[in-house]
Copies of this chain bind each other. A is one copy, B any other.
Amino acid sequence: MVELNNMSIEKLSPAMFIGVSGEDIISFGSGQPDLPPPERVYKILPSYRYFKYGLIQGQLNLREALAKQYPKSTPENFVITNGASEALDLTLRAITLIKSKKKNKVLLPRPYYYTYPRLVKYAGMEPVYADLIDGRIDLDDFKKKIKDCKAVIINSPSNPTGRVESIETLKLIEKLTANLGTYVLSDEVYKDLIYVRENYLIKGPHVVTINSFSKTYAMCGLRIGYLWSLDQKLVNNIIEMKTCTSMNTNILGQEMAYEATKTPRSFIKKQVEIWEQRRDLIYEGLSGMGLDLWKPEGAFYVLPKIKNPTNFVWNMFKKYKVIAYPGNWFGVNDRVRFSYALDIDKIKEGLKRVRKYLGTAGL
């Protein structure tokens, strides 16, 4: 676990908390399901024996299974990646290399998932921000700013807001970007964790949909993600790049992901019911403390307004062993992100500690 004594408030960073656990720590930090993966995923382990290189693009059985889930697609349209993270990274890097009259700018709705601005910069591009209104895309602002951009990242359901964009908004974005020839990176890793409706899959000639087995099937540590696009030239450029940057994605993880694709829909339904129960608990708990927050429509995050968020995060961790992430990591200064991907008892205990702290701090 984290060494409390070596830490300071200035040093707080997401890398410090990921994979961290310890006795008596309540972590509303990293967004990973506490539930186990479907049993069939690890049932293949005892007899598994293939450890050689796989296809760079990803194993065919897995891509075939995915092609059945996406309309008008073939296995050629997919690349299996080291989590959604690598899918985002490779796509941005491949887009940077495409010659275009457009400037190398990428539009990011804000608050954003904290890696987006960094990935954009690492890829040699410049982030441009469009502030959300009440957690939703402001179409007027979006229309103005998208014209100047080569790409945009959409993340619905959103981490960290827990919001789901309306289908009208998503369809308008499809039209706008198709007309402008803008690349759309649609990060839909929470597509199976929506409480308000079915997921709407963004479509278009330059859309790259990014997804993962991590959240739906509780297999974050195996790092199996993928991208899907009908822009075959871009897909091929990404494969060429991946041949150099990481080669095939872990071959055993891919076989486990293939098993996950056979999981009946009822598994996901049951998971959503569990998430919904937890959502209600934390939403009501934090609302009950007088905090201002949106009721999550998808994913497993709440983003309440909290005075002096960095102090809150620091003290909650040092004094109450509660991990939460300051909003400024996500581009918002007056909020704190809580993941509710932990069991009911832990959420209750965590809420108790937050209530105690807020009482003491007189907030």
A residues near B, CB below 8 A?
13-15, 18-20, 30, 32, 36-37, 41-42, 45-46, 48-56, 82-83, 85-86, 89, 93, 97, 115, 118-119, 122, 124, 218-223, 239-241, 243-253
Contacts and interface: CB of A to CB of B under 8 A. Distances in A.
24 contacts: A14-B243, A15-B56, A18-B247, A19-B53, A19-B248, A36-B49, A37-B51, A42-B49, A42-B51, A45-B46, A51-B218, A51-B220, A83-B247, A89-B246, A93-B122, A115-B244, A118-B241, A119-B245, A122-B241, A122-B244, A223-B246, A223-B251, A250-B253, A253-B253
A218 B115 CA distance: 34
Contacts of A220: 51-53
Highest count of chain B CB atoms <10 Å: which of A37, A86, A251: A251
A247 B85 contact: yes
Contacts of A118: 241, 244
A191 B115 CA distance: 35
Contacts of A247: 18, 82-83, 85, 223
Given A45-B46, A48-B42, A55 B248 contact: no
A298 B30 CA distance: 44
Contact of A55 (B19, B124, B223, B249): B19
Contacts of A241: 118, 122
A221 B251 contact: yes
A131 to B, nearest CB: 22
A47 to B, nearest CB: 8
A44 to B, nearest CB: 9
Contacts of A97: 122
Given A13-B240, A51-B221, 7 more contacts: A13-B243, A18-B248, A53-B220, A82-B246, A97-B122, A223-B250, A246-B246
B37 A222 contact: no
A48 B219 CA distance: 13
Contacts of A221: 50-54, 248, 250-252
